[in-house]
Structure 1
């Protein structure tokens, strides 16, 4: 059974144009999907429409095989079987932790509510915290309580609206992992809205990238990173090296400023020969400029050291922007040095087209 299916969803706000434009999205039951996109692309509107807070102009939404929105159907939020984990937790400050978690369990008797709330607190690692008040908890603990509250009624779908934004980077990583584990343990279908690429790739089973109100690519994190649909997706989902290139129909290689680069898949037969090669920074290796195997040589313009690795920017003749190399281990180069570059693995190739690839959508940016 499909956990969530969104079909041909269209939504507009007055004269501001379409925020969601014939959007489609499917999340299998029990999976966590991340919706990723720049500010103004329609992420927050999608979440609000699924939750039932905004009525769409057209389209259909089904949750757990049940249509909650469509022609002649518009169920209110409380009848959709959805749990929501908001950005700030949104706990009731006058209620204890256990009463916050049990708030949506009114149909059950008092003992059953307490037992279910305690079970959910154990699931999120807060067993024994039930009698505390929200102000006695850290930000991360408050978010765990919010997740427990969202899961307590056994919803068909959990919506997570950028729930880690208010936390510091060190806490975010650990909490992301814990939330993911809790969702899996509960067997919940979940949709995470985020603008953080690392968060989407590390936490989700699948990622849907939205641009201008449409899903431009959906797949596993590995599929999106290794086979992006176009150069814009490539540069949005992780760091990318984009190079002007020439490759004839069916070619296995492309000619670039880095020399002749092998392609991961043969170039398609449509369109002209001009296009863009997509590489990831870890596919480039620094080597001695006299190395016969080097694809090209250039001058190091900047080194960004991160401890576990470093990004080395190298300027090449004929390119306006330096290329980025991700390297591990002791650094052997400094700004001003000349270095050779070696390409490993196959590159993606995308032929030039008239489609917009800059990610802008003509909206006013009020929706996240």
Structure 2
């Protein structure tokens, strides 16, 4: 088992490319030892640059990167990649095509005798569920198996940190969930600290212990998946992490409720000195209901998207600029052009 002291601490990291455009702009991030953290953000926000700086492939302009209390990058310090104790799982697995699976896994095991290398390789193949595959060549494996072997190769030298660069991108959606679960189990079994870079919100929320949302080179919010989804730091984060319904709101006297075009909404916390703002709701907090229900608000159905396990009904509601999304489970009773009534359930956050 790996020591759980392998904390990753990044402080005030900046990086600009020759064009002069800043990519990382004072980024701060702490990942506790033994934690799988996802770095989530839109294209061009600095996710890949951050990964390359941590790995040592790029020099930061300013700021520090420390792992397990050891400075990897900082003023006057730039440890080369091979001295950082970091394992990397690239997008395509990138196995050596001319080597057997076993030799791929053992590639980074320097300084061990042959027997120990064999044992460690067998342990790693067992860990990723591919015991007995050591004599195969990479081209004989499926995409999911290749990604598992890439993970085994990254974990074999017992790194302090594993970096996963959108490792499930090339897999089809049916395979992706299974490989994700296997990768998470293997990381937990070794106690490794890991950083997963992704632009897939569902992947981040379902896989990681912590999710850091990066916007324009800074961490906009870092939280557990549940807190990130339920208490987003601002409307942009809310809209980026899942579907969000944003409605204007006026706070009542005590600050515990607000009036919106969708009715009265209970607030998670009273706002500090603000009487108006934007309330963030999730589509599953809205319910289709009978028109005569107290607190119901009427709207016109614009569209219906049926997914099998549930459906999304989009309505136009007076006082709300954008269409309002409602998640519906069970049989659908409405169609485009029809009138429908909705009501809000649960609590919401108010943003000035």
The TM-score with structure 1 as length reference comes to 0.92
Residue in 1 that maps onto 2:340:
339
Equivalence for 1:287: 289
Deviation at 1:248, TM superposition (A): 5.9
Helix, strand or coil at the partner of 1:297: strand
Alpha-carbon distance, 1:249 to partner = 7.5
Q: Where has structure 1 moved over 6 Å in runs of 4 or more?
A: none
Compute the displacement of 1:318 (Å): 2.9
| 2:36 counterpart of 1:55 | no
Match of 2:185 in 1: 181
C-alpha contact 2:6 2:160 (8 A) present in aligned 1: no
Partner of 2:350: 349
Which one of 166, 171, 177 corresponds to residue 170 of structure 2? 166
Q: Deviations over 1:146-193 (max 9, x none)?
A: 000000000000000000000000100111011000000011000000
Report the 3-state secondary structure (helix = DSSP H, G, I; strand = E; otherwise coil) of the residue aligned with 2:347: coil
Separation (CA, whole Å) in 2 of partners of 1:320 and 1:188: 46
* Cα distance change on mapping 1:114 and 1:204 into 2, 3 Å: same
Contact (CA 8 Å) 1:49, 1:56: kept in 2 or not? yes
1:278 to 2:280 alignment: yes
Q: Counterparts of 1:140-151 in structure 2 under 5 Å?
A: 140-151=144-155
Secondary structure of 2:7's partner? strand
Farther off after superposition, 150-159 or 11-20: 11-20
Q: State the match for 2:264 in structure 1.
A: 260
C-alpha contact 1:264 1:345 (8 A) present in aligned 2: no
What is the Cα deviation at residue 250 of structure 1? 5.5
Question: Is 1:228 aligned with 2:232?
Answer: yes
Tell me the distance in 1 between the aligned counterparts of 2:18 and 2:252.
46
Per the TM alignment, residue 331 of structure 1 is displaced from its structure 2 partner at its CA by 1.2
Shift of the 211–250 alpha-carbon distance from structure 1 to 2, 3 Å rule, reads farther
Say what the alpha-carbon RMSD is for the aligned residues: 1.2
Q: 2:30: which partner in 1?
A: 26
Partner residue of 1:106?
110
| Residue 2 of structure 1: how far off its partner (Å) | 4.8
Q: Is the 8 A contact 1:118 1:127 kept in 2?
A: yes
**Structure 1: 5+ residue runs without aligned partners?**
352-368
1:295 CA displacement: 3.0
Q: How many residues align?
A: 348
Q: How does 1:1-368 map to 2 (within 5 A)?
A: 1-247=5-251, 251-270=255-274, 273-291=275-293, 293-351=294-352
